[in-house]
Structure 1
């Protein structure tokens, strides 16, 4: 028997030899250490998690296997059931509870967090916890859950943390060592399947780097054949434009120039053509990342219209069988609404889309077909890269720019690595391939930089919240709770950064003392004089800034007053001239009305477009619906504007401008008089002294800033926790004394897990959701759960009076909480959103899917199901937590009403 007998016994059960990093990690586990394993996608990190399962079973103990999302939990549950049996393995995801007392239970991380706070009996006998995809702790919405689990787990539980490759693995491991004890960090950056980088230029696939030289060895040196081919392509393009001159590509990663136009005549190959080229090169199956749900669906439609077939008749027959397995329970009427026939036609040809807007049953069908080799081309959004086991032979990137929710931004090296990491199927492919589509303004150097950079730092998103605060205070004194927060990875990273800042402050203080001691004049006296000069400059800046803000506020106020059809005149710039308002904007902070100008441009104006407040100079009667995206529509409206004869107003003559506020400011006048009376003002070398003193002053300002930064960083989480406790005590969720005590209302809050936990607890406490029908309760719950994917999405109609009152009362409570949070300098709770109210109401009333989707303002079916399930999650909590029996009863009935049809089918996601 070797020193690591269990590792040897476990290895014998595997159908393949273990890799060195897997052996090292398993040996550390058998030796009694916790482990942190960082390795690329597909490297086989989960083998280490499965060894933890093996150890727990051999010792007659328990192992919990946690994942960030339900889909991964289900996937791992099925894997472990195949290895062991249904008696040995259980599943807990919130939606499902299967054999939850089994020695091995797969669960979402939130479920384990809730168990820890409830001190569940199921924790007894727990020896190992696997945290798969632990890098999710960087997720700004759900990341805190991972750190809560790590901090709360009993010391004798061995933690197995599995992460994608991160550049600060050692830092994360050092923190794990401080909070969990002995932790072995194992980093493996070797992909089990080599990944080769290519660019598709026209219809030719070329290597990005010199042939068969890995990026690590060649650095960022590019393939000369690729550069020559691109240069020829640009020359041909220039010649086709009738000019011998052509511009080199601009140094950016994106695929399109201003206004989305591709320079010159070059047209990239169509999506069907790209798939055909990949097929000829033997690079299918392939995942093409499109970064747009609509783009994914459009790509599938293009391929089908082109007549592309990637399957045989036997494969199409098996595809139909798998489709029937996943969709057999869906009502026929719902399938018609969901475009089932078109979706099935594409699948039978080996082509599919994959994105969160799809129905889960459809998405899972695509996943099974792809893994089994029946679907050869998938067009997907980047969500596919997050953990789902769906590798391909090649990955195609149409663009290196994606919309991040606010703006179009370049892909980061971490995002590029994560996306291309899907290429190469272990045990099937000997190598994987990443293919970037070339366009004239795409710089190959930028692609080379992305492909050869491996920087993906893990940053904590941990922050105390209301639910966390009451749960901590229920289990420990406030001082201990504060100390626990200060042991978080967030505080650990902050404190580490403070060490370097402290060294800089010490060095600066020595330099300041040296400068003050070497001055050949009365240093203290000149410091007073310099302070006066600085106060005058600050005052002048404040007055100027105040005038600017006043002007901006006046302009913003004038924009908010505009109505649909109003004609305004843009005074200057590219949009100068008359414009008609299509869509007003009531956002007082930054109004951006949508307009069409006399130049046939459509877009949003802002405060920056106006020097002075604007006003309506007339109006145009507009049709009920104006499709401003259509050029003929814009031209017709522009023609009407030009015929009205409006012109830009002349700006005010500068000579006629009134004096600035500084000319009348008494405080500024006083400071100037005091400056002239100061003894240093008459020194002959005054300006020379001032220049020497400026160096001292700049260094002192910088040192004071760094010192404030240090003070703010130290115990920052603890201070936020104190503010939360103070707010909760004001609202009677906590009683302050020698040590805070959680009240009965606090007990409700303790069991509410939601972004809007305090708002929900207040609604329950005040009874504003009493008396609602099940459908009305589901609708008002949707307002605190749902969040529109884009600003300006239309709000749903509110069908009943009781529901209108409940929503209005919920909004008022939110306004009170928002004011309290602002006063206490806390992050604010998200405002209720009524955009899903009508949809969930009609669905809970028993309406067919078509009616619910129409009421949902064009929300895709997949999103409809996802929001329904999040509403179900909160309704399930209310069914248990709500203090009023009528609310509990209505919540239970609402669960039954919502959990039907497409919402109940494949609910294991």
Structure 2
């Protein structure tokens, strides 16, 4: 439409690979198409421009001519806006887009599209229509494959019905397989190992079955690059291509590799993957050489790869559907812990199954190897997409660019952000919540409320001193000599749920007998130096227990008084749960494995208790246990005083005291909830990020990037140009003269610390000249971190300093020196693709530094950065994309 009406149109996507793909598609259909990603620029004056969203943002800040002529901006994959790091770029671009242009937002997974459309309509004062389908054009069937099993179980059919019976069968099959576990000896291990030779791994079984039933092509998702490769290697016995297809793969592969030098053609990754590709098996992850990734994508599109092992990025960045999708694991590591994948992630990946127009239905297979709660599985396969929530956050580059623009103002940007819109949206509900809670609280009428409150606070003090005494008497120093097996012990019962807590001076207690005690192993390295009396201990106690089901955590075992029903169990409790130790010890059998032995022992305990109707003799803390501390004596005196006050108190005689105290506690809880809700309302009514904005402006003033009147200074002009790496640290390095003194190789090597993000297990040794540059960078980072802390920006200074990682300094140094890629790969342990991505980002940063030097008239530096670009921009690292 735009081309017909002689208007300009911009198409943006989150990922360079997708932009390249779209450029190719559009070029075939319309001739007048250009491309702008950080790596490549083709026909920048074309009427239809394909670009990454980052490029759009920088064009907006630079006031590019193109922005004035644009009639339509298409944002593809707009759900990327919820991305933690890059999502904010979408919000900036949408808010700052020219007022006379129109927009199209595309996404397969935005359940709260109405909210998003309302925001766009509000910011741009133009209607925003939602066109949606709430069904899949190609329906999906979801199957479970229990580890070690032989079959598939259909758990969700194409109508979207969850089949409970079939799910139970799958879970039982999993149980059966794990009961024969000794025989299989952990054969599963995420479907990787093949167990004994001759035994087929689970993934091999599934792949074979998929091929027999003609469910191919299939994408097998795995969450680690290594796993993808190991799994693919296990398929080496399968051959999925006929002779003609093999020849075709060979032709396509080598014509793609033609652009490489002879040395690069000999790279292990290139030579190892061809035999797999010829068999119709592929691997796709970020560690592959970009050119290989593209060959594999093309082969997959042409139907020459029947089985592809890929990481999650494949489902986000490319439009490549298959007939079947397999999940080898339903847990992933998200940076700090392993967790189940969310229903949103599952939808994104399973969405690759089922090709529109080709398949009647798509098939998803979940390989499950752990006892997966039905609710977890149900949530995953029947859940909804993650809502599009704002991931807005402030950056110094954004603030400086806003200050520099003539009509820019960071506060306006904040006010118009989706984040602020969502906060305002939530306000009426929050206010209603405050009102409801207040009404609920005020409806509770208590007679003599003040006197009751007074009694309640005495009781709380009494409890707290009781706890103090406990922590002194039952500290390891005093009680370890008395924790012999067989001693009767009284502990705080864990069965009293919060609401049933007794409001008398006696807490719910239960008797048991000590079996043994042990030191808790610490996770810290210096555990060996801890003195015995400072260590942590738990005691194993035989007592009555009851198991309660708690949905979130499975079963919870709770101790109960001996007179109540329950089963005799040995439980580990911390010292803090001891209430008192008795002077009596009984004989306990060495072996308590049988229920009978445990029952008999507890009968003995009960007999002893029955013999002393006035209570068993307890160890006296002062006389028997030699507790002599002044804080203990003080606490005892306070307790005696409180006991007197409680006994004499007016309300203590009330027959329904317990009930009244429970009502009072409910009221106190409501008061606390009202306070919290009011805080939320206050936070929502004030401008989001207001304090952080002030703090960050303070940092910019203190470091000399802007004046108190928000005028951008020389340093600020440099930081405005840098968006691909840490703008403050780079600017400080530039102004400290480090770049002037360093050689080109050293400079490139130092910059690699800004673009390398993966964590390596052991840091490689680096040469002295680089080591001194690195420590200079770390000093600068530490200084910036401290200034931010002083200005009240929340930051962990050491984590910030360590985020500049030297892992690839040596490799990049060698590359800048002119080494061949295969030589560089011998220096470092990293994946080829990861290194190439880092060097490409490095080139992007260098381009920005060239512009930065130009903007402040540093001609010498500008030439130096240009030379650095020339040094690193060569061979396989910058091989042109096959899509272009």
Shorter-chain TM-score: which interval?
Answer: 0.7 to 0.9
1:842 counterpart SS class: helix
| Match among 481, 492, 501 for residue 410 of structure 2 | 481
- The answer as to 2:223 corresponding to 1:278 is no
Given the alignment of the two structures, is residue 221 of structure 1 paired with residue 163 of structure 2, yes or no? Answer: yes
- 1:257: Cα distance to partner? 8.5
TM-score by length of 1: 0.73
Q: How has the CA–CA distance of structure 1 residues 74 and 262 changed in structure 2, closer, same or farther, with 3 Å as cutoff?
A: closer
Change (3 A) 1:780 1:283: same
Q: 1:872 aligns with which of 825, 843, 851?
A: 843
SS at match of 2:129: strand
The 3-state SS of whatever aligns with 1:425 is coil
Alpha-carbon offset, residue 540 of structure 1: 9.5
Contact 2:721 2:849 in 1 (8 A): no
Task: Report how many residues are paired.
Answer: 744
Gaps of 5+ in 1: 1-53, 243-253, 563-568, 575-607, 612-652
Helix, strand or coil for the counterpart of 1:835?
A: coil
Indicate the residue corresponding to 2:278 in structure 1.
Answer: 348
Q: How far apart, in 2, do the equivalents of 1:767 and 1:270 lie?
A: 58
Give the C-alpha shift of residue 402 in structure 1.
2.3
Question: Is residue 2:717 matched to residue 1:750?
Answer: no
- 2:753–2:808 CA contact under 8 A, matched in 1: yes
**For structure 1, which segment, 377-386 or 160-169, has the greater mean C-alpha deviation from structure 2 after superposition?**
160-169
**Residue 221 of structure 2 aligns with which residue?**
289
Tell me how far apart the structure 2 counterparts of residues 694 and 150 of structure 1 sit (CA, whole Å): 49
Determine if contact 1:115/1:123 at 8 Å carries over to the other structure: yes
Indicate how the Cα distance of structure 1 residues 509 and 873 shifts in structure 2: closer, same or farther if over 3 A, else same.
Answer: same
- Contact 1:71–1:908 (CA under 8 A) maintained in structure 2: no
State the 1:664 CA deviation.
8.5
Task: Find the aligned partners of 1:826 and 1:166 in 2 and give their Cα distance.
Answer: 31
Looking at structure 2, the residues matched to 381 and 446 of structure 1 have their Cα atoms a distance apart, in angstroms, of 22
Moved more, 152-161 or 884-893: 884-893
Q: Is the 8 A contact 1:769 1:806 kept in 2?
A: no
Equivalent runs, 1:501-520 vs 2, <5 Å: 501-515=430-444, 518-520=445-447
Give, in whole Å, the separation in 1 of the partners of 2:726 and 2:748.
Answer: 15
Q: Which residue of 2 aligns with 1:859?
A: 830
Task: Determine if contact 1:222/1:445 at 8 Å carries over to the other structure.
Answer: no
Establish whether residue 185 from structure 1 lines up as the match of residue 102 from structure 2.
no
What is the correspondence of 1:61-100 to structure 2 with a 5 Å cutoff? Answer: 61-85=7-31, 88-100=32-44
The CA deviation at 1:198 is 2.8
**How far apart are residue 67 of structure 1 and its match?**
0.4
Between the aligned partners of 1:854 and 1:609, the Cα distance in structure 2 is 53
Rounded to whole Å, the distance in 2 between the matches of 1:425 and 1:703 is 52
Q: Do the aligned residues in 1 keep the contact of 2:696 with 2:793 (CA within 8 Å)? A: no
**Structure ID, larger Rg:** 2
| 8 Å CA contact 1:763, 1:769 repeated in 2 | yes
TM superposition score normalised by structure 2: 0.75
Q: Is residue 891 of structure 1 aligned with residue 865 of structure 2?
A: yes
Q: Deviations over 1:784-818 (max 9, x none)?
A: 2212335xx322333352x3333222111211222
Contact (CA 8 Å) 2:171, 2:371: kept in 1 or not?
A: no
Name the structure 2 match of 1:640.
Answer: none
Query: Deviation of residue 399 (structure 1)?
Result: 2.3
Measure the CA separation in 1 of the matches of 2:474 and 2:753: 38
**TM-aligned CA deviation for residue 230 of structure 1:** 7.4
Q: 1:695 to 1:843 in 2, by over 3 A?
A: same
Pair 1:256–1:449, CA change in 2 (3 A): farther
Q: Aligned Cα RMSD in Å?
A: 4.4
Q: 1:475 to 1:238 in 2, by over 3 A?
A: closer
C-alpha distance in structure 1 between counterparts of 2:305 and 2:740, whole Å: 51
2:72 paired residue number? 128
Q: Helix, strand or coil for the counterpart of 1:722? A: helix
2:101 corresponds in structure 1 to 157
Over 3 Å counting, the alpha-carbon distance change for 1:704 and 1:895 in structure 2 is same
Q: Which residue of structure 1 lines up, in the alignment, with residue 259 of structure 2? A: 329
- The CA distance in 2 between the partners of 1:764 and 1:545, in whole Å, is 57
**Shift in alpha-carbon separation, 1:134–1:491, aligned structure 2, 3 A:** same
DSSP-derived class of the 1:761 partner: helix
Contact map agreement 1:555 1:610 (CA 8 A) in 2:
no
Aligned 1:449-848 pairs, distance under 5 A: 449-475=379-405, 480-515=409-444, 518-521=445-448, 523=450, 559=526, 663=632, 682-685=649-652, 688=657, 693-714=664-685, 715-737=687-709, 740-789=710-759, 793-801=761-769, 803-823=770-790, 824-827=792-795, 829=800, 831-848=803-820
- State the distance in 1 between where 2:738 and 2:51 align: 34
> Post-superposition shift, 1:417?
1.6
Aligned ranges 1:1-80 → 2 under 5 Å = 54=1, 56-80=2-26
Contact 2:329 2:367 in 1 (8 A): yes
Structure 2 residue matching 1:386: 3-state secondary structure: helix
| Residue pair 1:209, 1:215 contacting (<8 A) in 2 also | no
Deviation of 1:115 after TM superposition, in Å, equals: 0.7
**Equivalent position of 1:577 in the other structure:** none
Structure-1 residue corresponding to 2:343: 413
Change (3 A) 1:661 1:472: farther
Instruction: Identify the residue that residue 304 of structure 2 maps to in structure 1.
Output: 374
1:432/1:542 Cα in 2 relative to 1: closer, same or farther (>3 Å)?
A: farther
CA distance, structure 1, for counterparts of residue 722 and residue 257 of structure 2:
34
- How far apart, CA to CA, are the structure 1 residues paired with 2:266 and 2:469? 65
- CA-CA distance at 1:905 after TM superposition: 0.8
* Superposed displacement of residue 275, structure 1: 2.2
CA contact (8 A) 1:399 1:436 kept: yes
